[in-house]
Amino acid sequence: MSETVIETAGLSKTYGTKEVLHPTSLSVRKGEILAVIGPSGAGKSTLLRLLDGLEKPSSGEIRIFGEPFTRKTRRKIRARLGILFQKTVLFDRSVEDNIALGLSYRRIPRAERKLRAKETLEKLGMAEYAGRSARTLSGGEGQRVSFARILVTRPEILFLDEPTANLDPLASKDVESMILAENAENGTTIVINTHDQMQAQRLADRVSVILDGSVVQTGTPDEIWYHPVNASVARFVGFQNIFDASAADGTVSFGGLCVAAPASLHGDVSVMIRAEDIVLTKTQTNISGIIRSLSRRGAFVEISVETGVEFFIRIPFKEYDSSLSVGDTVFLTWNNDALVIGGNQ
Ligand code: ADP
Ligand code: MG
């Protein structure tokens, strides 16, 4: 198990009277990529600014490389960190100068700054950009240059705040490649905020879901997208079937249906299942219902079936039985592991 490089306990932030980040305990291991996902306004940027030492917590602790930010340690810790924002910041100078500027706050002689800027551009396959005026770059190129200006400082932890939110898909892929290469080649620890869930799945070893100022779940991509801890996370990660249910004596019941559950579970829970994990069949199962609607959505068909509760089902168009129509009686089934039982918040 590799060492923990970021650790927070009870970390919170209040602006005015509003606590925008509720007490958060989080730890990040050396060399790991953690993606923080959540809707706009959830508190992602606030969390990142606290971790980077740009803002002071209202309560709680942060330890970076085992040390808290203090008047004495702050500068020394921050010299080992790098932060990249959504908005590209470039100076009206050459690309090489822009990158060398990343080193201007460190006591590094001018000649070495230039050399390291050159090396960084070469390593990133961007050598031909060196003499170009930063003004002439496209959005994607500009963001890669901003990124290079941070990489030239050789950060041990990189904080990325929605670095591709303003870029088209192709330019985003280039930035994603830089992220993965930096992590693989230098073992750099990375915390990336994103509202793009696909991006989080492509990049992250672990994912934290932040909703309304609270880190609700942290886990592997598989845990987040297939085993959400509660209804709010499930809704955010795209579960279309979320039912209020009640658990007792080893079963969970909802809408006239009953499924097995851990015996330890009692009281109000949620039953959650992805629309694409439900199988529609004409062969009898113990769940029967009536088709209420059928609609084509690109390469998929979405079907709602009333069984006492309403289920949403998503089937690839090519696998769909086109003889089905509204009013037909059908049967539903799913694999045991597709059904998730969680909290009802
Ligand atoms: P996200 O990055 O997930 O979109 P933010 O961390 O930027 O969310 O914001 C979380 C909440 O904190 C929002 O309600 C936002 O309006 C508020 N907020 C952020 N920064 C400030 C600030 N400097 N002063 C007051 N409120 C702020
Ligand atoms: Mg933000």
- Give residue-wise pLDDT tens across range 56-93: 999 999 999 999 999 999 999 999 999 999 999 899 99
Give strand ranges (E) for 212-287: 214-219, 241-248, 251-254, 257-260, 267-273, 279-281
Q: What is the pLDDT of residue 256?
A: 86
Which amino acid residue places its CA nearest to atom 6 of ligand 1?
Answer: 43
Tokens 């010299």 identify what position?
A: 79
The DSSP result for 12-53, as a single string, is EEEETTEEEEEEEEEEEETT-EEEEE--TTSSHHHHHHHHTT
Question: How far apart are the CA of 58 and the centre of ligand 2, in A?
Answer: 19
Decide whether any atom of ligand 1 lies within 6 Å of the 100 Cβ.
no
Beta bridge partners of 272: 242, 340
The reported pTM is: 0.94
> Which of the two residues, 345 and 158, has the higher pLDDT score?
158
Distance CA 305, CA 325 (A): 11
Least confident of 70-74, 104-108, 195-199, 226-230: 104-108
Distance CA 16, CA 117 (A): 42
Least confident of 93-97, 157-161, 182-186, 252-256: 252-256
Mean of the per-residue pLDDT values of the chain: 95
What one-character DSSP code corresponds to residue 306?
E
Decide whether any atom of ligand 1 lies within 6 Å of the 212 Cβ.
no
Decide whether any atom of ligand 1 lies within 6 Å of the 40 Cβ.
yes
Which amino acid residue places its CA nearest to atom 1 of ligand 1?
Answer: 41
Ligand lying closest to the C-alpha of residue 36: 1
Question: How far apart are the CA of 40 and the centre of ligand 2, in A?
Answer: 7
Contact predicate 116/152, CB 8 Å: yes
- Ion ligand 2 — residues with CB under 5 Å? 44-45
Instruction: Examine the pLDDT at 1 and tell me if it is beyond 70.
Output: no
Torsion from C-alpha of 72, 73, 76, 77, nearest 10 degrees: -160
Q: What percent of the chain has pLDDT over 70?
A: 100
Question: How far apart are the CA of 84 and the centre of ligand 2, in A?
Answer: 12
Distance CA 207, CA 223 (A): 9
Distance CA 255, CA 264 (A): 22
Decide whether any atom of ligand 1 lies within 6 Å of the 46 Cβ.
yes
Which amino acid residue places its CA nearest to atom 10 of ligand 1?
Answer: 43
Contact predicate 55/211, CB 8 Å: no
Decide whether any atom of ligand 1 lies within 6 Å of the 317 Cβ.
no
Which amino acid residue places its CA nearest to atom 17 of ligand 1?
Answer: 20
Helix (H, G, I), strand (E, B) or coil at 219: strand
- Each residue's pLDDT tens digit, 215-255: 999 999 999 999 999 999 999 999 999 999 999 999 999 98
- Each residue's pLDDT tens digit, 169-190: 999 999 999 999 999 999 999 9
Distance CA 113, CA 153 (A): 10
Which amino acid residue places its CA nearest to atom 21 of ligand 1?
Answer: 15
Ligand 1 atom nearest to 49, measured from its CA: 6
- Work out the pLDDT band at 147, boundaries 50, 70, 90: very high
What one-character DSSP code corresponds to residue 275?
G
Decide whether any atom of ligand 1 lies within 6 Å of the 51 Cβ.
no
What one-character DSSP code corresponds to residue 283?
S
> What residues have CB less than 8 Å from 132, skipping those under 6 apart?
94, 95
Question: How far apart are the CA of 23 and the centre of ligand 1, in A?
Answer: 15
